[in-house]
Amino acid sequence: MYRIQRATQTKEEKVATRIAQMLTDFTLDIEAVGKFLATAVPHLLYTRVIEVLESAKFQNENRIEHDNRWGYKDDIVKK
């Protein structure tokens, strides 16, 4: 018999999954969350959150450019 091993998630993937799960709660006031992050937590944590968001934006933009090169333009909403 063959055993199929599931790839384990890295610590970073687990954190990203948890953040995504928390943000899928549409009853959550994300503006209030942002206000709390900007005022109540240490500046270092705020800076790290901004770094994560900038990285996500960069990766998403590169993914869209990559998809455009391969002809997947139908998935992109034109403005």
> Domain map of the chain by residue range?
9-40, 43-79
Specify the pLDDT at position 33. 93
CB count, 10 Å around CB of 67?
Answer: 14
The one-digit pLDDT tens for each residue of the chain (79 residues) are 566 666 788 999 999 999 999 999 999 999 999 999 889 989 999 999 999 999 999 988 888 666 666 555 555 555 4
Specify the pLDDT at position 35. 92
Contact partners, residue 76, CB within 8 Å, separation at least 6: 64, 67, 68
Specify the pLDDT at position 9. 87
Specify the pLDDT at position 1. 59
Query: CA-to-CA distance for 21 and 15, rounded, in angstroms?
Result: 10
Read off the tokens for 73.
């333009």
pTM for the whole structure: 0.64
